[in-house]
Every structure is written in structure tokens, then in C-alpha cells.
């Protein structure tokens, strides 16, 4: 295919003229967000050779749409935007993929995208993942720069997304009315809108929801029907929201968010653990996301209440978004870990790179002390370094364990080969002792195979 550097100004379409390929409309914002790749100059660079039809001369255009869909699924958005300019078939496949996963855009691009989705149900029907809102949206909404017409447009677009499965809805405030009566049934949700009566009413429609993060303000007195959210397995939220969502539901993983205005204290954690323990899960994993501005004594006192209500969990994690994980906290964990009956994984993370956790990361002495207190512990992650317990090697880094096991496997294979050779020699010497030819009676390769299997 020739790639002309510039189209001729006198170029006219005709029987012998190059085929002109469909260009993207200015109403196609998901494609047009790749602005440098959809200019006229770049469109000219993907024209076919003069006098040839791409669709008739290239066998790739004759492939089934399902095959093209699989091939195009490996392409990034800029490549898909260029593929959409090649021919009608490519445009259809590339457009489907471009609209399948829509990530967060600026306010202006989001508005253009919503206009397309609201006016083109066929395009909106391709969307599986949709993200809207960010810090810029929050600022604009707080300053009154997001007009009411935007939410009407959003509502129309959402009601065209029949196959939407994952939604990130980061629009703070009482904005959940745009979700009411939407046709989709989500499996994953991240929402920062207010957890009010309207939002709770919409949640009753989401019977397939399995994973939810609620980071909006909770409205006092809001409740959920007992039969709501029957498929929910993982939830992340503040204590008041968890008290509304968790009880009686089959939740197995909980992220407890103790950020402003919550603090990590024994009383707060005791109330939260009592709520989480009411899950019909059974609960398997607990992660605490919190500031650590309190003293080590206060933090350890709070941690003591965790095994009193959740001693059978297998995974426990602490993520400190501020403050420090001190030596006192690290050395004070063994008595607490000893109260868990089946804890297998422990994760500690801190954003403070100068605290004791970062200094201790990768050391095996500390982890060995925890394992001595909690014999079921198999994996410990400290600031990105994961140590696993192996019966032969003790506590080793996960990346090192793979190399050790590979070396051990190679050593065993070599040993098995040597044993096979010895067995063959012994069998040959035995036959000679009985006056038999080594070649009679038993095939050497067969004998070696039998010995290998036996070994």
C-alpha cells in the first residue's frame, strides 16, 4: 500500500481515482479524543494505492467480523482511531471497541461523548465499562459550573447502555436520580454520590452487583431492604455505610475506610467489627484503610478487637494513608495475630517512606516472630515485598522462591536421570552374570522408562 505524503488539491473522485474512506464525524468524541491521529493529514496517510479498492484487494477485509474483533482487541485507542478510518468494516469493528470501555474524560469531552451516546443507542449498546467524574468534575460541580442539562444528558445516555457491567460514578452530591430505571445490571460499582434514599432505591434494582465501593456521604436513616444486593461479595465503605449494607448479605471481603472524619480508635473499630461480623458471607478478608495519627498504644488497642469478632478470616491488611507504622506497632502484633485461628495472609502498607515499615520490609526476623505467634500464616506483604513460607526454605521472597523451586526441580530431574543410568548398568551386569546377552529379553529404553517411572 502506498502512503502518499499529501493529497493532491485537484484530486477528484472517479472510476480510476483512489477510494475515499469514511472520516470521523466531529460528533464522535471517543474517536476524536485521539486528535493528532484524526487530522486531515493523517487521514490522507491511510488512503489505498491509486486505482485499487482496499476491501476488494486486501484479504484481511474478507475476514469475519468476529475474527477482526479479536485482532483489534489488542490495539490501543490511537490505533483503533486510525483503523476506524480505513473502511466501513474496520470502522464498525473499531468503533465497537472504542465505545466498549469509556474511561474518564474532561468535562467538555464527556459532554460530547454523552451527546453521542444519548443520540445513538446502537453505540451505547456496545458500552461495558463507563467512567465519569474526577477531581476536576468535583471542583466544577462545587463551583456550579456543571449545568442541570448535563445531568439530563447523562440520564439519557445511561438509559441507552443496556449492556453496561461496570460503572465508576464519581459525581459528588445528590446525583443518583440519573441512575433510576436504567436498564443495565451492574457487576461492579464505584460511586461517590450521596448514599441517600434515591441511591438506596436504585441499589435494589442491582441484583447482579458483586463488587461495590461507596465513598459518598451517608444520609442518616437510610436503609436497604433485606433482599437487596443478593449477589454482593465485596464492599468498601465507611462504618455508617457498612452498617447499612453488610448485615445479612453474603459479603466475603470488606474494606473498612476510616478516613476523615473517622479515626482509628478502639471504640470506632469495635462498632465496625460488630457490623462486619453480621455478614452472611462468611467473611474471608478485611482491609483497614486509615490515618495513623494516634499513638502506637491506641493503634494496638484498636487492633485487639479485630480477632474478637473476626478470628476466622484468612486475609488481613492495613493501609496507612498518613502517619507512621512504628517499631512499637510492628513488635506489638504477635499477641494480636496469635488470636486468629486461620489467618494466612497479612499485608501492611504505608505511604510514609521513612517509617519503620519501610526499614523492616524484606527482613525475615520480624516475619518469623509473627509466624511463631500465628502458625497458619503463609504470606506476608510489606511495602510491595511479598514473603512466603516454604517448609524447605523458610520465609523467602516470592520472586526468589520461584527460582529456588525451579533449581530444585532441575536437580531432581538430573538425579532421576543418574538413577536410571545406574539401574541399566546393574541390569546389564546381572544378565552377564547369568550368561545372557545384554540385548536379550529386555529393551534398554523400556527398562529405563520403567525405572524412571518407579523413581
Whether residues 67 and 108 fall in one domain: no
pLDDT at site 415: 80
Whether residues 375 and 437 fall in one domain: no
Number of domains, the chain? 3
Question: What sign does the dihedral 294-305-225-186 (CA atoms) show?
Answer: positive
Whether residues 421 and 391 fall in one domain: no
Whether residues 121 and 76 fall in one domain: no
pLDDT at site 316: 97
Whether residues 242 and 268 fall in one domain: yes
- End of a domain among 98, 123, 157? 98
Q: What CA–CA distance (Å, rounded) separates 308 from 286?
A: 14
Q: What CA–CA distance (Å, rounded) separates 317 from 41?
A: 53
Q: What CA–CA distance (Å, rounded) separates 189 from 166?
A: 6
| CA torsion, ordered 75, 78, 81, 83, to nearest 10 deg | -50
- End of a domain among 80, 98, 116? 98
Q: What CA–CA distance (Å, rounded) separates 252 from 22?
A: 50
Whether residues 154 and 179 fall in one domain: yes
Whether residues 328 and 223 fall in one domain: yes
Assign 3-class secondary structure to 166-204: EEEEEEEECCHHHHCCCCCCCCEEEEEECECHHHHHHHC
Q: What is the CA radius of gyration of the chain?
A: 31
Crossing angle (nearest 10°) for helices 444-454 and 398-433: 130
In a domain, residue 172? The reply is yes
pLDDT at site 25: 43
In a domain, residue 15? The reply is no
Whether residues 199 and 89 fall in one domain: no
Whether residues 87 and 147 fall in one domain: no
In a domain, residue 7? The reply is no
pLDDT at site 218: 95
In a domain, residue 431? The reply is yes
> Hey, what's the cell of 142?
462545587
Whether residues 83 and 161 fall in one domain: no
pLDDT at site 28: 52
pLDDT at site 362: 61
- End of a domain among 98, 117, 141? 98
pLDDT at site 405: 64
In a domain, residue 17? The reply is no
User: For 265, which DSSP code?
Assistant: -
In contact, 305 and 275? CB cutoff 8 Å: no
Q: What CA–CA distance (Å, rounded) separates 439 from 437?
A: 5
Q: What count of residues does the chain have? A: 455
In a domain, residue 6? The reply is no
pLDDT at site 436: 58
Q: What CA–CA distance (Å, rounded) separates 8 from 4?
A: 9
Whether residues 254 and 338 fall in one domain: yes
pLDDT at site 43: 38
**pLDDT digits (tens), the chain, 455 positions:** 333 333 333 333 333 333 333 344 444 544 444 433 333 334 343 333 343 444 444 566 677 778 888 888 888 888 888 888 888 888 888 888 888 999 888 888 899 999 999 999 999 999 999 999 876 776 777 777 788 899 999 999 999 999 999 999 999 889 999 999 999 999 999 999 999 999 999 999 999 999 999 999 999 999 999 999 999 999 999 999 999 999 999 999 999 999 876 788 899 999 999 999 999 888 999 999 999 888 999 999 999 999 999 999 999 999 999 888 999 999 999 999 999 999 999 999 999 888 888 887 667 888 999 999 999 999 999 887 888 888 887 888 877 766 666 766 777 777 887 788 787 777 777 777 666 555 544 444 444 444 444 43
Whether residues 271 and 412 fall in one domain: no
pLDDT at site 22: 38
User: Residue 398: which residues within 8 A CB-CB, separation 6 or more?
Assistant: 379, 386, 387, 388
In a domain, residue 22? The reply is no
pLDDT at site 403: 67
In contact, 277 and 283? CB cutoff 8 Å: yes
Q: 423 lies in which domain range?
A: 405-454
Amino acid at each position: 500500500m502506498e502512503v502518499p505524503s499529501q493529497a493532491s488539491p485537484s484530486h477528484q473522485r472517479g472510476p480510476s481515482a483512489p477510494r475515499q474512506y469514511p472520516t470521523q464525524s466531529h460528533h464522535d468524541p471517543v474517536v476524536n479524543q485521539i486528535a493528532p491521529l484524526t487530522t486531515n493529514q493523517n487521514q490522507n496517510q491511510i488512503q489505498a494505492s491509486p486505482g485499487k479498492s482496499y476491501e476488494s484487494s486486501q484479504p484481511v477485509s474478507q475476514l469475519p467480523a468476529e475474527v477482526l474483533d479479536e485482532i483489534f482487541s489488542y490495539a490501543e485507542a490511537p490505533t483503533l482511531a486510525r483503523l476506524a478510518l480505513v473502511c466501513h468494516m474496520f470502522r464498525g469493528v473499531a468503533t465497537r471497541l472504542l465505545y466498549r470501555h469509556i474511561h474518564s474524560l474532561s468535562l467538555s469531552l464527556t459532554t460530547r461523548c454523552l451527546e453521542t451516546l444519548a443520540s445513538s443507542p446502537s453505540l451505547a449498546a456496545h458500552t461495558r465499562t463507563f467512567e465519569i467524574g474526577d477531581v476536576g468534575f468535583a471542583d466544577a460541580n462545587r463551583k456550579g459550573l456543571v449545568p442541570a442539562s448535563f445531568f439530563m444528558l447523562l440520564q439519557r445516555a445511561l438509559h441507552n447502555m443496556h449492556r453496561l457491567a461496570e460503572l465508576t460514578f464519581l459525581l459528588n452530591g445528590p446525583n443518583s436520580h440519573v441512575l433510576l430505571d436504567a436498564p443495565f445490571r451492574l457487576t461492579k460499582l464505584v460511586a461517590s454520590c450521596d448514599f441517600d434514599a434515591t441511591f438506596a432505591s436504585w441499589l435494589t434494582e442491582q441484583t447482579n452487583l458483586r463488587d461495590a465501593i461507596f465513598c459518598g456521604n451517608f444520609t442518616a436513616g437510610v436503609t436497604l431492604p433485606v433482599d437487596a444486593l443478593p449477589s454482593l461479595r465485596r464492599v468498601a465503605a465507611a462504618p455508617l455505610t457498612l452498617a447499612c449494607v453488610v448485615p445479612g448479605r453474603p459479603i466475603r471481603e470488606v474494606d473498612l475506610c476510616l478516613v476523615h472524619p473517622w479515626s482509628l480508635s478502639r471504640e470506632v473499630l469495635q462498632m465496625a467489627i460488630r457490623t462486619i461480623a453480621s455478614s452472611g458471607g462468611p467473611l474471608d478478608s478485611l482491609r483497614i484503610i486509615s490515618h495513623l495519627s494516634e499513638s502506637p498504644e491506641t493503634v494496638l488497642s484498636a487492633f485487639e478487637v479485630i480477632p474478637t469478632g473476626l478470628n476466622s478470616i484468612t486475609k488481613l491488611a492495613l493501609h496507612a494513608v498518613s502517619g507512621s507504622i512504628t517499631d512499637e506497632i510492628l513488635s506489638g502484633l504477635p499477641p494480636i495475630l496469635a488470636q486468629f485461628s486461620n489467618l494466612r495472609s497479612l499485608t501492611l502498607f504505608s505511604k510514609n517512606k521513612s517509617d519503620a515499615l519501610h526499614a523492616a520490609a524484606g527482613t525475615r526476623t520480624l516475619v518469623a516472630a509473627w509466624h511463631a505467634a500465628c502458625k497458619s500464616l503463609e504470606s506476608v506483604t510489606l511495602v510491595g515485598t511479598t514473603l512466603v513460607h516454604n517448609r524447605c526454605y523458610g520465609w523467602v521472597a516470592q520472586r526468589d522462591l520461584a527460582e529456588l523451586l525451579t533449581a530444585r526441580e532441575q536437580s531432581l530431574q538430573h538425579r532421576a536421570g543418574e538413577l536410571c543410568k545406574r539401574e541399566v548398568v546393574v541390569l546389564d551386569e546381572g544378565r552377564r552374570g547369568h550368561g545372557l546377552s545384554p540385548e536379550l529379553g529386555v529393551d534398554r529404553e523400556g527398562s529405563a522408562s520403567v525405572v524412571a517411572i518407579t523413581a
